[in-house]
Amino acid sequence: MNKREEFIRSILKDNPESKKTKIRSWVYVILISVGSLMVIFTILSSIFKWNFSVFYWDKMQVLVISTLSLWETFLESFVSLMFSNHLKKIKNKTIDNDNLDIQLERICRRIDNGVFSTIFYFVIIIVAIWLYEEQTYWEYLKIPILIVYLLLILKTINIYVKLKRNITEFEKL
């Protein structure tokens, strides 16, 4: 087992090659993606006054709280799926590339921001619960919540691109 494979296995909570882990990761990725898209679509249809909205913004507090609080789990599941495929391809490789391994460690550190993300999600959940009781202010949170979703999506895309590039470069060795 090379250093890269050891590092990947050390950061993942479960065995990335097990069928149960892959199914659970896919479920998280699909559910949080669908929930987030529903929230974003509802916000956009509410802002632009589209008439074909199936969902209503004033009933979205629980979905917003759920998808935002589970975003880190979504990101970890997404990365776990990428790593499970990568581990299959590098299983018998004995090559080590320190530069790519260091880059991989930096990318993985960006996935979990630790204290910042915990405080951020805690504040969002508290505000959303408070606004659940005060319906009058919930209407004003459309744009800030849309911005938060867009920032999270951009972070996810950024991590995906960097991780994909790193994995592809290593597999070419």
- Residues 6 or more apart whose CB falls under 8 angstroms from that of 96 comprise 2, 3, 4
pLDDT at 99: 84
Kindly report the pTM of this predicted structure.
Answer: 0.80
pLDDT at 142: 84
Percentage of the chain exceeding pLDDT 70:
87
Q: What is the rounded radius of gyration, in angstroms, for the C-alpha atoms of the chain?
A: 19
**Phi, psi for residue 4 in degrees, rounded to 5:** -65, -45
pLDDT band for 164, please (50, 70, 90 cuts).
Answer: very high
**Cα dist from 166 to 7, 74, 122, whole Å:** 14, 20, 32
pLDDT in tens, 37-86: 988 888 888 888 777 667 777 778 778 878 887 887 788 888 888 888 88
Tokens at 51, concatenated: 């008439």
Residue 163 has pLDDT above 80, yes or no: yes
